Amino acid sequence: MTFPEHFLWGGSFAANQVEGAYNEGGKGLSEVDIFPKSDRKHGGIFGLPYDELCFAMNDTDDQKYPKRRGIDFYHRYKEDIALFAEMGFKVLRFSISWPRIFPNGDEEEPNAEGIAFYHNVINELKRYGIEPLITMSHFEMPLNLALKYNGWTDRRLIQYFERYAETLFREYAKDVKYWITFNEIDATIHIPFYGAGIIPEHTDNLEQAKYQALHHQFVASALVTKLAHTSYPEVKIGCMATKNLKYPATCKPSDCMQWLKETEMDGFYTDVQAFGEYPYFIRNLWKTQGIEVQITDEDRKVLKENTVDFISFSYYASLVTSADGAGKEKTSANLLVGEKNPYLKQTPWGWQIDPEGLRFSLNQMYDRYKRPLFVAENGLGTFDEFNGETVEDDYRIDYIRDHIRAVGAAIEDGVDVFGYTYWGCIDCISGSTSEMSKRYGFIYVDQDDDGNGTKNRYPKKSFYWYQRCIASNGTDID
Ligand code: BGP
């Protein structure tokens, strides 16, 4: 396998899953600081009833809300970055917490302490020659924007996001080349509070509200891309969506038609950000469902003229679909639920492990978008057994090896892939369920689901494997 010479190997995480310090340094409450720990099936990502949300907002019992504590990256970032450097990371993809910069989201002036914190993080990365790749919005918008404006349903959020992005560019663009505007932008449709701060009780027509909010996010992203291209020519902007790969259950034409329709829908987010317009099937869906999205002529122009420089995505699992899914066994894959695939194994959380699907996805997307691709998330979330010193996580090594082989195979197929950031490179709070026991990391963090533990860090066996992988540019991985 030949990876390009400057291939960006590294890891990724989001502020709200690692930082903790939710009420330090002038930070405002984020929409996920109010999610209580939940079980596997009922992740807070599906949103809370409004009265529970109001209760949680004023609840001072921090123990109940794991994302408030994260893994204390806020205070331990130097130690963590030193470990990433020891692994040989070329890049770290992380998000900036919007409410650390604008605590309420709609104020004029940013919070100086928040700005200083990310300067410190970026300087530390630069000290080791690690490229920062920043996500501006990773499910952590200021809670105030959800409560006061019903999130992204309100057009004013575009200007607040622009102000936030201008601030980030002004402060950090000289050190940061790669930026992603929204993480998994499709979340707005699947999990509207998590993705866009939409409170269903404050919404008459939820379907319409979701598409309106998504449209505002597309426009905001395009305006930020425009700003980057005009004022910060070194900066490259990427979109980011969940790669929801599905296979038809059989070659029966009706199953294949169902597959085609779902595949179009699952991918249209990137279509808009790469081609600058809504595809026909979305316009048709709105027409048939009576959804009226307010789109101005100026919006159309902005979308068309400011498409992204690169395409990034998360890839964890694949699903199966058929024309008649009733009675078929279902399982989940990140944001979606679909039919099980008898040929694949799955994680304890039911996510079906499919490395070949990553090669498939990379080929499919490169053929469609013809733009450089970046694997922003991929990883194995599972239980680990800590023996007091380390974790012998051969199963994780197998997972990553197979997926990296798939990336290598896609590169040999002719696909332009310029980086791979393994998700949850250090154990962190699960995005969907806020558990700690769903671990992804190369680094074990001594903390349980209830926040007990020293939070000390311990390299797992996979830590040394990934170190070898990076040092050999992906050739020494057996
Ligand atoms: C993606 C999110 C991440 C992360 C990951 C793994 O959807 O962008 O924030 O959480 O999935 O999901 P989980 O932590 O629920 O296993």
Question: What's residue 57's pLDDT?
Answer: 92
Atom 5 (ligand 1) nearest CA: 431
DSSP state of 254: H
Ranges in the chain, pLDDT < 70: 1, 39-44
Q: Which of 423, 426, 439 to mutate to test the pocket of ligand 1 (most atoms within 8 A of CB)?
A: 423
Q: Does the annotation count 377 as an active-site position?
A: yes
Interhelix angle 112-127/156-172, nearest 10 degrees? 50
How much distance in Å is there from the Cα of 423 to the middle of ligand 1?
8
Output the pLDDT for position 41. Answer: 55
Point out the catalytic residue in the list 31, 124, 131, 377. Answer: 377
Q: Whose CA is nearest to atom 15 of ligand 1?
A: 432
* Best residue among 32, 314, 422 to mutate for probing ligand 1, ranked by most atoms within 8 Å of CB: 314
What's the 100 CA to ligand 1 centre distance in angstroms?
Answer: 21
CA of 70 to the centre of ligand 1 (A): 14
Question: Is 234 considered catalytic here?
Answer: no
Interval between CA 33 and ligand 1 midpoint (Å): 16
Nearest ligand 1 atom, CA 432: 15
DSSP letter string over 301-362?
HHHHH---SEEEEE---EEEE-S--TTS-EEEETTEEEE--TT--B-TT-PBP-HHHHHHHH
Determine which helix (DSSP H) or strand (DSSP E) holds 143, and give its type and residue range.
helix 143-149
Q: Could you identify the atom of ligand 1 that is nearest to the CA of residue 17?
A: 9
Three-class SS state of 370? coil
Count other Cβ atoms within 10 Å, centred on residue 245: 22
Round to whole Å and give the CA distance between 358 and 380.
14
Q: How far is the CA of 316 from the centre of ligand 1 (A)?
A: 9
Nearest CA to ligand 1 atom 2: 431
Residue closest to 155 by CA, chosen among 319, 307, 298, 354: 298
Give this prediction's pTM: 0.97
155 contacts: CB under 8 Å, gap ≥ 6: 216, 294
How many whole angstroms from 232 Cα to the centroid of ligand 1?
Answer: 30
Please give the Cα distance from 274 to 19 (Å, whole number). 32
Rounded distance between C-alpha atoms, residue 450 and residue 384, angstroms = 16
pLDDT the model gives residue 258? 97
Q: From the alpha carbon of 183, which atom of ligand 1 is closest?
A: 8
Cβ-based burial of 405 (10 A; exposed 0-12, middle 13-18, buried ≥19) = middle
Query: Which atom number of ligand 1 is nearest to the Cα of residue 381?
Result: 16
Pick the catalytic residue from 19, 131, 184, 435: 184
Q: Which residues, judged by CB distance below 6 Å to any ligand atom, belong to the binding site of ligand 1?
A: 14, 183-184, 314, 334, 377, 381, 423, 430-432, 438
Question: Separation of 334 CA from ligand 1 center, angstroms?
Answer: 7
DSSP helix, strand, coil percent of the chain (3-state; round to 5): 45, 15, 40
Is the separation of the CB atoms in 114 and 71 below 8 Å? no
pLDDT at 276: 98
**Cα dihedral 419, 420, 423, 425 sign:** negative
Sorted by where each starts, the structural domains of the chain and their CATH numbers stand as 8-471 (3.20.20.80)
Distance 254 CA to ligand 1 centre (A): 32
Span between the terminal Cα atoms of the chain, in Å: 12
What is the per-residue pLDDT for 44?
A: 65
Q: Cα of 14 to ligand 1 centre, how many Å?
A: 9
How many angstroms from the chain centroid is the CA of residue 213? Answer: 18
Q: Are 267 and 186 in contact (CB under 8 A)?
A: no
**What is the sign, positive or negative, of the torsion defined by CA atoms of 451, 455, 461, 463?**
positive
Q: Which atom of ligand 1 is nearest to the CA of 429?
A: 14
| Amino acid code (one letter) for 248 | P
Nearest CA to ligand 1 atom 9: 431
Query: In the numeric block, which tokens belong to residue 104?
Result: 């309420």
- Closest ligand 1 atom, CA of 440? 16
Residue 199 near residue 50 (C-beta atoms within 8 A): yes
Per-residue pLDDT of 438-475, as tens digits, reads: 999 999 999 999 999 999 999 999 999 999 999 999 99
**Strands 91-95 and 318-321, bridge-based pairing:** unpaired
Pocket test for ligand 1, best of 377, 428, 438 (most atoms within 8 A of CB): 377
> By alpha-carbon position, which residue is closest to atom 7 of ligand 1?
334
Q: What is the chain's length?
A: 478
Atom of ligand 1 nearest to the CA of 45: 15
Bridge-based pairing state of the strands 443-445 and 330-333: unpaired
Mutational pocket test of ligand 1: of 334, 375, 449, the residue with most ligand atoms within 8 Å of the beta carbon? 334
Contact 19, 328 (CB under 8 A): no
Beta bridge partners of 194: none
Residue nearest to atom 3 of ligand 1 (CA): 431
